[in-house]
Structure 1
Amino acid sequence: MDAMTGLRLLPWTDPDGKPCYLSSDDGSGPLSRRADAIEAVQESMAAELLRHARVLLDAPRADKRELRYLAERLCEALRDVLRVAESRGARLPSYGEGDDPAPRGGGCD
């Protein structure tokens, strides 16, 4: 949930392309679970597309049409995962000045 608004940005838009939000007290309801599942699919598809992109970009004979199609799909995947990141980032707890969210001890040196 966004601490400022109490709304969760959902991983889809309305028919006009406007963002959709969920107002809920917790993240365990059916619509929250559906959004979580769609986000997982979007992340998986982006990872698979990235693997495909590497193969295509390494192919010396990839033509302009293939590369353009790849670029379009990469743009879609990037849009989706940025929306997931925005939604999840908005639901992270905020820390006040002087609060230290990092655990003590066992850190990287």
Structure 2
Amino acid sequence: MTPHNELRLLPWSGPDGKPCYLSTDNSTSYLSRLADDTEAIQLDLAADLVAHALEALSSEETQPEELRHLTADLTEALKDTLRVATSRGHRLAAPDVRAHKGNAGPRLPTGAFG
């Protein structure tokens, strides 16, 4: 993977709620590993919360107050998950467009489209 000169969006916000970024080419630095671990925890918590939500929604005994609380928790988990996806998406290597020059991709017959 080629090194990027972009900043890494970290999985936490600053004290004023603004995004935090890390500038490093070292993916094994302390802060990089801390960010990786935090992302993993956030994604695991989101998965657990989705499982809990599925249980709550399938139960006729779930109270409206519990659903409101669950909605708030799901919203926070979704925000964290979107931040992780954005951060990881920015760190993907950009495709080499020169390697694809003149190659428009696969060609399908007209009949393939119905």
Q: TM-score, normalised by structure 1?
A: 0.84
Displacement of 1:61 = 1.8
> Moved runs in structure 1, 4+ residues, more than 6 A?
none
Q: Using CA pairs under 8 Å that are at least 6 residues apart, name the structure with larger relative contact order, 1 or 2.
A: 1
Corresponding residue number in structure 1 for 2:91: 91
Structure 2 unaligned spans of 5+: 101-114
Decide which structure has greater helix share.
Answer: 2
For 1:99 and 1:44, the matched residues in 2 are separated by 37
Displacement of 1:99 = 3.8
The structure whose Rg is larger is: 2
Displacement of 1:35 = 0.4
Q: Which amino acid aligns with 1:31?
A: L
**Which secondary structure state, in structure 1, belongs to the residue aligned with residue 25 of structure 2?**
coil
Q: Which amino acid aligns with 1:53?
A: A
Q: How does 1:31-70 map to 2 (within 5 A)?
A: 31-70=31-70
Give the paired residue count.
98
Q: TM-score, normalised by structure 2?
A: 0.81
